[in-house]
Amino acid sequence: MIRRTTILRLMFATGLAVLPILAMPAVAQQATVVGVDEVRSEPLSQTIPVIGRVVSERTGRIAAQVAGAVRAVHVQVGDRVRQGQLIAELDHDTKKAEARVLEAQIESARADLQTAQAELTLAEQELQRQTQLKKSGAFSKSRFETAQQELLKARSRILRDEAIIATRKASAAVIKLEVDRSRIVAPFDGVVVEKLTEAGSYLRIGDAVARLLSDSELEIEADVPSTRVGGIKPGYRVRATFEDGTELAATVRSMLPVENPMTRTRPVRFTPTWPDGVSGIADQQTITVHLPIGPARDVVTVHKDAIIRKSGQALVYVIEDGKAASRQVQLGEATGSRIVVTAGLKTGDVTVVRGNERLQPGATVKIRTGS
């Protein structure tokens, strides 16, 4: 009796343990959230890389336009200056003293001119009086001729004084210009990359004060093989990349008619379109320009982040009916952030580019929306 009771108890306990398991519903497989990108067809030109450099459109030495001793230099290497900002100033006290002397001489000449004008008035009145006496017995030919001569002398003195005033004004203007030019200012916005004088030095006309470079007006220069120059024209768009992989578009601005006989290359200037957020670009920084070597052709491309390397093979996950499917692909050349696919994918396929590292074939996926 005891044994039968024990068996019943065991069966009852087992039934209680199994019933909840049988009653539990099946848990659905959780979907993996992934980011996707569509396979697309786009034109591709075969290119050759040409090493170029970033160059400033405005750079040069800022020179003194007048001679003189340097009173002060107001910039240091690395300072950023604005157009018209004072860079250095020369001693101009002597020129200012000369200007004051000329001002006094001009005032003296003006006083002489006023005297000559008064004498002219008297001479005109005397000649008029002598002319009126011609028909009277009081007329004197010698006095008439003397009045004529005095009139001519008065007019001559006026012309002389006016010329003196004009000459001294011109000299004063020259001195003022020299005083103004003793203040050496930045001709454009830029950065001081070299300081070439110090206070106390004496500068002659043309001596350099500093070297200024504009880092806001930059373009690209590349030495292109002369055999390739004929394939590009002004306005032609090319691709360029920095050493860190940053990519940008550039347009041919000019092909300089100068050839290096040693390298058989010609300099070509490109106007770049700088990507948003790019900063710290420097003059003479290396950049690679990709020049076309053949006509464009349509190719199928996939985003580089879709490629998974396993056992020496290139794989891509595509989404089919909400599930991940593995595809083996054959790859061609890279073009920016995309890679040419020669087999395994077709235009319009949706590939996984985020979250594909741990995917398994047949896994349920959910496409991530937004950024």
Instruction: Give CA–CA dist 84/185, Å, rounded.
Output: 5
Report which residue type is found at 213.
Answer: L
DSSP state of 65: S
- Judged against a pLDDT cut of 60, whether residue 168 lies above it is answered with yes
Residue 294 pLDDT level (bands cut at 50, 70, 90) = low
> In sequence order, what are the beta bridge partners of 255?
268
Instruction: Give CA–CA dist 246/115, Å, rounded.
Output: 79
Instruction: Give CA–CA dist 152/80, Å, rounded.
Output: 64
What share of the chain in percent tops pLDDT 90? 60
Q: What is the predicted pLDDT for the residue at 270?
A: 97
Specify the 3-state DSSP secondary structure of 73. Answer: strand
Instruction: Give CA–CA dist 156/106, Å, rounded.
Output: 18
Q: What is the predicted pLDDT for the residue at 18?
A: 40
DSSP assignment of 35-59 equals EEEE-EEEEE--EEEEEEEEEESSE
Nearest to 324, CA basis, from 355, 363, 367, 369: 363
Backbone φ, ψ for residue 323 (5° rounding): -125, 160
Extract long-range pairs of 250-258: CB within 8 Å, 24+ residues apart.
Answer: 250/220, 250/289, 253/219, 255/224, 255/229
Residue 31 pLDDT level (bands cut at 50, 70, 90) = confident
Q: What is the predicted pLDDT for the residue at 103?
A: 92
Q: What is the predicted pLDDT for the residue at 276?
A: 82
Token pair belonging to 234: 């002004």
Instruction: Give CA–CA dist 342/354, Å, rounded.
Output: 22
Task: Look up tokens 């069966």; give the residue.
Answer: 11
Backbone φ, ψ for residue 214 (5° rounding): -90, 120
pLDDT tens across 249-258, in order? 999 999 999 9
Residue 5 pLDDT level (bands cut at 50, 70, 90) = very low
Residue 43 pLDDT level (bands cut at 50, 70, 90) = confident
Report which residue type is found at 355.
Answer: G
Backbone φ, ψ for residue 321 (5° rounding): 55, 40
Q: What is the predicted pLDDT for the residue at 248?
A: 93
Instruction: Give CA–CA dist 277/246, Å, rounded.
Output: 11
Nearest to 240, CA basis, from 296, 285, 298, 283: 285
Residue 293 pLDDT level (bands cut at 50, 70, 90) = confident
Lowest mean pLDDT of 40-44, 107-111, 195-199, 320-324, name the range.
Answer: 40-44
**Greatest CA separation for the chain:** 188
Q: What is the predicted pLDDT for the residue at 29?
A: 60
In whole numbers, what is the pLDDT of the chain averaged over residues? 87
Assess contact for 247 and 241: CB atoms under 8 A.
Answer: yes
Token pair belonging to 226: 């002369």
- Strand 237-242 to 265-273 pairing: unpaired
Secondary structure, 3-state, 231-250: CCCCCCEEEEEECCCCEEEE
- Strand 32-38 to 365-367 pairing: parallel
Domains of the chain, with CATH numbers?
32-44+297-367 (2.40.420.20), 47-57+216-292 (2.40.30.170), 93-181 (1.10.287.470)
Instruction: Give CA–CA dist 13/132, Å, rounded.
Output: 159
Token pair belonging to 173: 């203007």
CA distance to 6, 7, 14, 150, 321, per residue, from 1 (Å): 9, 10, 20, 169, 62
Instruction: Give CA–CA dist 94/100, Å, rounded.
Output: 10
pTM for the model: 0.58
Which range has the top average pLDDT, 40-44, 91-95, 269-273?
Answer: 269-273
Q: Nearest-5° angle of CA 35, CA 38, CA 42?
A: 145
Residue 8 pLDDT level (bands cut at 50, 70, 90) = very low
Report which residue type is found at 263.
Answer: T
pLDDT tens across 59-94, in order? 999 999 999 999 999 999 999 999 999 999 999 998
pLDDT tens across 213-254, in order? 999 899 999 999 988 887 788 998 999 999 988 999 999 999
Q: What is the predicted pLDDT for the residue at 370?
A: 63
Instruction: Give CA–CA dist 70/89, Å, rounded.
Output: 6
DSSP state of 364: B
